[in-house]
């Protein structure tokens, strides 16, 4: 039987490389399209074709897509929340224009299906917990705004054209492939777990915990940490859903479970056997106290469930990279 062909745009990045790995394991023929601006060559797989290209290069996108694909996975984006507030032009150009280019090239070349990396950042300050797909969207940073606008663009295209999409709203992506096959660590990590890991390895002396006076059990912020391999398996399920049924959806990807900053630090101490030096610092602007997903829709539409539910096991997969 002929393999289904998938073009993974942004496939050399942290989440993209895990998606490529999962697709290859599930017998898809994969091509990665990435400009390697944040993606890394060490994240590429020999079994996947690689094209170095930029999403702002429409001709190259169209030429690549004219080879014919059953689906596109679009993960290419700028994703630093703080930077998006300082330099919205960069985010408008890369995230908005880049996405328009991808979707227009799909339509011109007759590719009907796309799985898009969206984010819990579209919700802004949540009004109730856990957050479902009906929760109002109201981003409070420019990064989240770009993700929401791209969702809306896909919705319009799906109504006007033979265009089918699944937007996956990631909550907090963490961990690495348990077999150690993906080695590319982010260069200037801004997220909690990579920062705690830098303290564990001695690369950083101590870290700051932003706020200890939130209305949460231990006063620190609670997030829904989802293992990147679980995110990846949801992309495989989303492509299958699109190929079989073709319905468009927006779907939250989380674990239904919240973990506080202090609980993350304690879990890292347990897993690594090292003491994590930290100090409390003022709240970080724009941080909701609690952000946890309900993944009932993902279970129903994608027949998907996260395999990783234990935070220590999730952290172990990140620690494996340091000790191997
Ligand atoms: N935190 C610290 N110290 C640090 C870094 C983070 O205390 O040095 C705290 C944050 O204040 C927050 C929690 O750890 O309470 C998690 O922070 P991250 O930066 O790891 O993640 P966020 O929840 O802020 O951001 C994530 C994604 C974004 C997305 C956002 C909204 O990384 O892409 O969720 O859904 F936009």
pLDDT digits (tens, 9 = 90+) for 75-127: 999 999 999 999 999 999 999 999 999 999 999 999 999 999 999 999 999 99
What is the per-residue pLDDT for 281? Answer: 98
pLDDT at 21 over 90: yes
Average pLDDT over residues 210-239: 98
How confident is the model over 127-141, as a mean pLDDT? 97
38-57: pLDDT as tens digits: 999 999 999 999 999 999 99
| Per-residue pLDDT, 256 | 96
Residue 93 CA to ligand 1 center (angstroms) comes to 24
Ligand 1 pocket member 289 (CB < 6 A): no
Is the C-alpha dihedral spanning 163, 146, 80, 78 positive or negative? positive
User: For 154-209, what is each residue's pLDDT tens digit?
Assistant: 999 999 999 999 999 999 999 999 999 998 887 778 899 999 999 999 999 999 99
Catalytic residue among 91, 143, 165, 214: 143
280 confidence band (pLDDT: 50, 70, 90): very high
Reply yes or no on whether the pLDDT at 8 is more than 90.
yes
Other CB atoms within a 10 A radius of the CB of residue 48 amount to 20
Task: Judge if the beta carbon of residue 119 lies within 6 A of ligand 1.
Answer: yes
143 is catalytic: yes
Query: Which pLDDT score is estimated for 25?
Result: 98
At 323 the pLDDT is 80
Distance, CA of 23 to CA of 168 (rounded, Å): 16
pLDDT at position 183 = 87
For the Cβ of 278 lying below 6 angstroms from any atom of ligand 1, the answer is: no
> Using CA positions, which residue lies closest to atom 2 of ligand 1?
209
63 falls in which pLDDT band (50, 70, 90)? very high
What band does 324 get if pLDDT is binned at 50, 70 and 90?
low
Mean pLDDT, the chain, whole residue set: 96
Does 302 have pLDDT greater than 90?
A: yes
**Ligand 1 centroid – CA 195 distance (Å):** 11
Q: Which pLDDT score, from 0 to 100, does residue 250 have?
A: 98
Name the β-bridge partners of 223. 259, 291
DSSP per-residue letters across 175-199 = ---TTS------SS--SHHHHHHHH
* First-to-last C-alpha distance (Å) of the chain: 38
Residue 172 Cα, ligand 1 centroid: separation in angstroms? Answer: 8
Whose Cα sits closest to atom 30 in ligand 1? 121
pLDDT of res. 138? 97
pLDDT recorded at residue 185: 81
**Separate counts of helices (H) and strands (E) for the chain:** 11, 14
Please tell me the predicted confidence (pLDDT) of residue 130: 97
pLDDT tens digits along 314-323: 999 999 988 8
């Amino acid at each position: 039987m002929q393999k289904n062909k998938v073009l993974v745009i942004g496939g050399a990045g942290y989440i993209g490389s895990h998606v490529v790995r999962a697709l290859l394991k599930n017998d898809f023929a994969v091509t990665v399209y990435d400009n390697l601006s944040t993606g890394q060559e060490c994240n590429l797989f020999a079994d996947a074709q690689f094209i170095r290209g930029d999403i702002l290069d429409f001709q190259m996108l169209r030429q690549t897509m004219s080879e014919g694909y059953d689906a596109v996975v679009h993960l290419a984006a700028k994703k630093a929340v703080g930077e998006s507030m300082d330099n919205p032009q960069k985010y408008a150009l890369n995230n908005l224009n880049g996405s328009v280019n991808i979707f227009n090239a799909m339509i011109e070349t007759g590719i009907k299906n796309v799985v898009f990396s969206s984010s819990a950042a579209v919700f802004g300050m949540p009004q109730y917990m856990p957050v479902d797909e009906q929760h109002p969207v109201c981003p409070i940073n420019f990064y989240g705004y770009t993700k929401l606008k791209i969702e809306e663009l896909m919705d319009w295209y799906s109504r006007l054209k033979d265009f089918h999409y699944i937007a996956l709203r990631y909550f907090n992506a963490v961990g690495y492939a348990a077999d150690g096959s993906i080695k590319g660590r982010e260069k200037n990590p801004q997220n909690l777990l990579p920062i705690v890991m830098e303290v564990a390895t001695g690369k950083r002396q101590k870290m700051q915990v932003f706020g200890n006076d939130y209305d949460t059990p231990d006063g620190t912020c609670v997030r829904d940490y989802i293992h990147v391999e679980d995110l990846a398996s949801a992309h495989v399920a989303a492509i299958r859903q699109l190929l079989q049924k073709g319905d468009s959806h927006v779907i939250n990807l989380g674990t239904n479970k919240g973990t506080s900053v202090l609980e993350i630090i304690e879990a890292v101490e347990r897993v690594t056997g090292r003491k994590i030096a930290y100090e409390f610092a003022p709240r970080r602007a724009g941080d909701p106290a609690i952000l946890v997903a309900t993944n009932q829709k993902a279970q129903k539409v994608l027949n998907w469930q996260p395999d990783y539910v234990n935070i220590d096991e999730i952290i172990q997969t990140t620690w494996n990279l340091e000790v191997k």
